[in-house]
Amino acid sequence: MEIKRVSLIEPASREPSMWNFIKQPRLGLVILATILKNKGYEVRVFCESMSSIDWDFVYSSDLCGISCMTQTANPAYEIAEEVKKKKIPGIMGGRRVTFAPEEALEHCDVVVRGEGDNSFVELLEALKKNKSLKKIKGISFKKSEKIVHNPAGKIVDINKLPSPDLSLVKGYTNKPRFDFSFYRLGNNPEF
């Protein structure tokens, strides 16, 4: 399988959450994007709380990675289903799917559990070479409708990670942006 272009998506929470206030990307996907860029991939990060997803870029991607926390599970699963319709491999990672990989595998092809900085890159290399996924630590996937959980991946040495290249994030500005409109008194009867 050819993999040159990769989309990484951080869905926005549809429910009240602290992430609705802070219009900055979490660094996990940005560091992963930086690693992929340094390995020669064309990569873009879409952080829904900052800007809209460029679906033309996503639909022309060879693979789509989707971050998933509990607050963003439903939109993350919707995005995974959308890319699946376009026959684009969907890989999910993040806190929620680390603890509920079986649930996520109903919507995507592979789940990267725990820290994905090494596992995701190994996964891409295996997919490019049509190699077995059995030796890639920290992933879960389906094989003949049976779910396979490979052993946990290694803890990443934070000192060996690259500095995040925030220019890979669509709509990023270097000024923190806060949006309190989600919690205005008039919009929320609990306040």
Is this prediction's pTM over 0.75?
yes
How far apart, in whole angstroms, are the C-alpha atoms of residue 73 and residue 95? Answer: 10
| pLDDT for 17 beyond 80 | no
pLDDT value at residue 148: 96
* Residues making up the chain, counted from first to last: 191
SS3 content of the chain, % helix, strand, coil (to 5): 35, 20, 45
Helices vs strands, H then E, count in the chain: 6, 7
How far apart, in whole angstroms, are the C-alpha atoms of residue 119 and residue 187? Answer: 42
| pLDDT for 21 beyond 80 | no
Predicted confidence (pLDDT) per residue in 79-138, tens digit:
999 999 999 999 999 999 999 999 999 999 999 999 999 999 999 999 999 999 999 999
Of 128, 125, 152, nearest to 140 by C-alpha is 152
pLDDT value at residue 20: 65
| pLDDT for 50 beyond 50 | yes
- Give the DSSP H or E segment for 101: helix 101-104
Other beta carbons within 10 Å of 181: 9
How far apart, in whole angstroms, are the C-alpha atoms of residue 156 and residue 168? Answer: 22
Q: What 3-state DSSP class applies to 191?
A: coil
